[in-house]
Structure 1
Amino acid sequence: MGGAGADHGTFYDAALQRREKLMGASGARALWKNFKVFRIAAFACIGGVLYGYNQGMFGSVLAMPAFKEHMGEYDPFDETASMTKKGWLTAILELGAWLGTLLSGFLAETLSRKYGIIVACLVFLLGVVVQATAVQAGPSAILGGRFVTGMGVGSLAMIVPIYNSEVAPPEVRGALVATQQLAITFGIMISFWIGYGTNFIGGTERGEQSDAAWLVPICIQIVPCLVLLGGMVFMPFSPRWLVHHHREDEAREILASLRDLPIDHELVELEFLEIKAQSLFEKRSVAEKFPHLREETAWNLFKLQFVAIHSLFQTKAMFKRVIVASVTMFFQQWTGINAVLYYAPTIFNQLGLTATTTSLLATGVVGVVMFIFTIPAVLWIDRVGRKPILVIGAIGMALCHFIIAVIFARNSDKWDHQKASGWAAVSMVWLFVIHFGYSWGPAAWIVVAEIWPLSSRPYGVSLGASSNWMNNFIVGQVTPDMLQKITYGTYILFGVLTVLGAGFIWFVVPETKRLTLEEMDIIFGSEGAAQADFERMEEINAEIGLTAMLHSAAVGGSGSDEKKDVV
């Protein structure tokens, strides 16, 4: 047995070396060699820009005098207005996104990733058009339009990373999927600066500012959405989706085109067989766990994601994964990051920057620092590990919250005479965003994606995303009430919850850096689940000829090495 295991390991080591030789190195050079795929993935990431833009844009709009004139009892700065209704203006987008996230898996699987993105764009456009009628219709148009826009945003946030991961070759897949997070922070950054610029249209005071000041930031997002909508018509289907839906010849052709290789090239065939193996694995796992959903009808596909998520609660080991995914996303949102992104001008106004223009300028800095400090996470996360980055980031954010609370409590009634204290608090907000950018922004999503067995991963990630959006909605809803009623207590609450988040990560969440599926099962107490997945995959690999091909590649020399330069 020991000799067989050693032979098995040697075979896979040799096969992996062969594959790496065919693929070439990762990094910037690999992106250049795979420039067609990089171009396609970067284009699809316009969906991430739209998501980020929506996250940041509305905070600037809320601060504009011309917008407040149309909002009546929803006026964000009317002291007599209901703070709960003010929260609805912002938070209803997250409620729509939560629904869009739940539907996105069904859309992506039945219509394809490509057409799923197109449908999400159409929904997004409808929501923007409805919001643009708010000059006549008032707050009802903003509420309805933002809910519909949120459905489009939620779908794009889920489908675009799936599409990018499935068109990308293995050596650049991580970089291209990470591009989505950068696109989101880029969208946040430009939304703040567009809001700052349009605030000057017609003037900056109530009664003189033009409605264009807030209509332009809302309507300008139509342009990138139309670009994405039109461009996706010409983008290729996901090879993985084609294989899963029995269109194998078309999948081979697209895969060869994406890799700029002949259709009979060894690397094309190797990747095609791996995609086919993954597809068969998923189908057989579903057939075993949910035999009543074996038939691939649209209704069964719709029911599958809900039935599969329910199954995650039925064993102790899987329930522990549920706790890690949902609670990690709970704490990510209750760090207060989206309270800052949605209400930054309001927060800066409370911290002494009473001029709308100055508070919007400070808000623009938030977008810049978040974008810049998201980049190091891509470089550090696999070297340092998930837990240290999450804990350090949480401690940093909590300290910023507590310092802001102290400054606020000491100076809330004398900002005019304590300008330095006001700017110190503003600087702490900027530092808070820096700590989030390199830690909980990307790392929380990585943990949620890694902890699941292969057969449960799509449904586990959907559960984590659902927790993210629902808590996002709650934070957006209650923040205006907290800022008005408990003022600096808002920062104490976020600070305490962030410390609890650090404790949860340290004491409950295992380190997932470089763990295999089998090792992940051991730390979650479900030994054997990954082994069963592994055995099923081995059986499929042998059945479709992938094992024989890998064995031949491992021992057969370098017959195709001369072609690797075109990969």
Structure 2
Amino acid sequence: MWLSPGGEKLPEKSTTTFTLPFTGIEVTLHLQDFFGLGVVYGALIAGVSLQLIGRRSSMALYDVLLTYTLAIHVWPGQASRLAMWNRMFMGIAVGALSAIIPIYVCEMSHHKLKNKLMLLLPVFVAVGASCGRAIGSAEYEAPLRSHVFGNVAQYVPLFACFCGCWATAHAFASCLIPESPHYLLGGTCWDDPDDGRVSYTMLRRERFDGGPTKRSSVSEQIRLPWNPFCAPGILSDGKNRKALLTGIGYMFVNQVCGINISVPFMSRVLEMTGSCVRLQTLRSSLSIDVIQVIMAIIAMTIIDKVGRKLLLIFSVMLMSVSSGGLVVCFVLMKLKIDIPDSLDWLPLCLIGIYICAYSIGLSPMAWVVTSEIFSIQVRPYGMSITTAAHWMSVYFILYVRDGVFNAVKVDNFLISIYALGLLLALFFEFFTPKMHVGSLKI
């Protein structure tokens, strides 16, 4: 994904330096930086393509682009400049798909299956992250990878070919699935309510009941004057502004409380206990990915029974309690207060609880919440901006976590997470915007 084998492919040519205008500041970009810029830009332009050519055509388009960039990625003897631009276009494809797929799943899923299908997205993301780390992520030492997986270099082209085949199959499948009735019934340049009826019939295997009157009312509900570049319209309504701020804030907080930045601080608590467990190794990272997959699957089984709001509140409260417990453990060890040997397992247990709590609620529910808080008229643009905010948050956290780790004390960080968890619980209870129905129950 973000940190991938490309950095090792061109070790002496994988960076470029340019000077910012008006400031004279020199900036050095690596291959993963080009991917980061591309993924943010791809998420931003996804809303326009969704309005111009529809959901399934957009998916097929960016799948083809992703396949093309993967083919260039494994092509021997490529120049460094080509590798950098190729990594940017790869990011554009990934960013756009990460915004388009949740919208399509939200709009096309049956209301009884929607929550479960939306929670499949973080499962695939965690599996993909595990594969990327195992095959050759640049943040891990090569000897460790070689010890676990042998000669990693031989797997890189094979893994890229597998991803390309997957993207190609997804592009062909996108041509066979029905277009979203939300798009066909909306105010597009080729608006045709009859196409929306046919699409609904293909999807549900049942007739579009209600006749012309009901079909007309549904069309009016989601109609806007057709303008593929009307993204500023999302700010013209108070509810949409609230939904946009909520989505952007959710994505940022999701990364601030996430494992990428929390694990280094929690590792220091384990080191003080003399534990032999190290969280910042390849094996530990893969174990965390497995935990995320398992907890997301558990969330799929219980979400319809307990509800989304209750699951989110439970998740952030459990994260707050576990981080508070780690603060107590850290302070006791810092004051050199003797702790019974029988409690040496407690910090590791609290860290496990934190990871499980994050993985069962706050992390996987991000796509469920943000795909439904926007009204149907502005959903493509709202989800596009929110997804871009997600990737910008990932980019920000990855590149400041080392500085934060060195500048912020462990107990201060854990106290901040404790307080933030309590505030999030209050927010989810009282201030979360109403979620709009994403499936066509018509």
How high is the TM-score relative to the length of structure 1?
0.58
CA contact (8 A) 2:145 2:152 kept: yes
Aligned twin of 1:304: 230
- How much does 1:117 deviate? 0.4
Give the drift of 1:475: 0.9
Shift of 1:470: 1.9
Q: Equivalent residue for 1:503?
A: 423
Aligned equivalents of 1:211, 1:353: Cα separation in 2: 33
Distance (Å, rounded) in 1 between the aligned partners of 2:153 and 2:275: 23
Q: Tell me the residue number matched to 2:191.
A: 246
Q: CA deviation at 1:200?
A: 8.7
Q: What letter corresponds to residue 170 of structure 2 in structure 1?
A: L
1:56-67 map, 5 Å = 58=3, 61=5, 67=8
Q: Which amino acid aligns with 2:38?
A: G
Q: Deviations over 1:148-183 (max 9, x none)?
A: 222111211221232234444444344434433433
Give the match's secondary structure for 1:365: helix
Match of 2:220 among 262, 275, 280: 280
Q: For 1:246, give the aligned amino acid.
A: D
Q: Distance in 1 between matches of 2:411 and 2:37?
A: 24
| Equivalent pair of 2:99/2:383 in contact (CA under 8 Å) | no
Q: Which amino acid aligns with 1:499?
A: A
Letter in 2 for 1:468: H
For the 8 Å contact 1:397–1:495, the answer to whether it is kept is no
State the partner residue of 1:50: none
Q: Does 1:104 align with 2:104?
A: no
RMSD between aligned residues: 5.0
Q: Given that residues 34 and 87 in structure 2 are in contact (C-alpha distance below 8 angstroms), is that contact kept between their aligned partners in structure 1?
A: yes
C-alpha contact 1:201 1:212 (8 A) present in aligned 2: no
Work out which of the residue numbers 114, 117, 123 in structure 2 matches 1:176: 117
1:334 aligns with 2:245: no
CA contact (8 A) 1:385 1:511 kept: no
Tell me which residue corresponds to 1:260: 205
Give per-residue Cα distances to partners, 1:500-522, cap 9 Å, x unaligned.
Answer: 25314415862659x687xxxxx
Cα distance between partner residues in 2 of 1:174 and 1:125? 29
SS at match of 1:439: helix
Question: Distance between the aligned counterparts of 1:215 and 1:353, measured in 2?
Answer: 38
| Match of residue 22 from structure 1 | none
- Which residue pairs with 2:340 in the alignment? none
Q: Distance in 2 between matches of 1:256 and 1:329?
A: 35
Deviation at 1:185, TM superposition (A): 3.4
Query: Identical aligned pairs, as a percentage?
Result: 19
Matches within 5 A, 1:190-269: 190-192=131-133, 203-204=146-147, 209=151, 211-244=153-186, 245-261=190-206, 267-269=207-209
Tell whether the 8 Å contact from 2:60 to 2:171 is kept in structure 1 after alignment. yes
1:19-168 map, 5 Å: 54=1, 58=3, 61=5, 67=8, 70=11, 90=32, 92-132=34-74, 137=79, 143-168=84-109
Quick one: which amino acid aligns to residue 204 of structure 2?
A: R
* Higher percent of residues as helix: 1
Q: Structure 2: 5+ residue runs without aligned partners?
A: 16-26, 334-342
Alpha-carbon shift at residue 101 of structure 1 (Å): 1.6
Counting matched residue pairs gives 412
- Alignment-derived partner of residue 20 in structure 2: none
1:269 aligned counterpart, secondary structure? coil
1:436 is displaced (CA, Å) by 1.3
SS of the counterpart of 2:364? helix
Instruction: Considering Cα pairs closer than 8 Å and 6+ residues apart, tell me whether 1 or 2 has the greater RCO.
Output: 2
Q: CA deviation at 1:373?
A: 0.5
* Unaligned 5+ runs, structure 1: 1-53, 75-83, 262-266, 287-293, 412-420, 518-545, 551-567
- Given that 2:309 and 2:428 are in contact with CA atoms closer than 8 Å, whether structure 1 keeps it comes out as no
Partner Cα separation in structure 1 for residue 130 and residue 95 of structure 2: 19
Deviation track 1:410-435 (CA, whole Å, cap 9, x = no partner) reads 99xxxxxxxxx999877665543311
Shift in Å, 1:273:
7.0
Deviation at 1:371, TM superposition (A): 0.8
Q: Which amino acid aligns with 1:373?
A: M
Q: Deviations over 1:307-357 (max 9, x none)?
A: 113325xx5x6654444333222211111334479x99x99x99999999x
CA 429–93 in structure 1, closer or farther in 2 if over 3 Å, else same: farther
- Partners of 1:424 and 1:194 lie apart in 2 by 33
Instruction: Give the whole-Å Cα distance in 1 for the aligned partners of 2:91 and 2:209.
Output: 40
Larger radius of gyration: 1
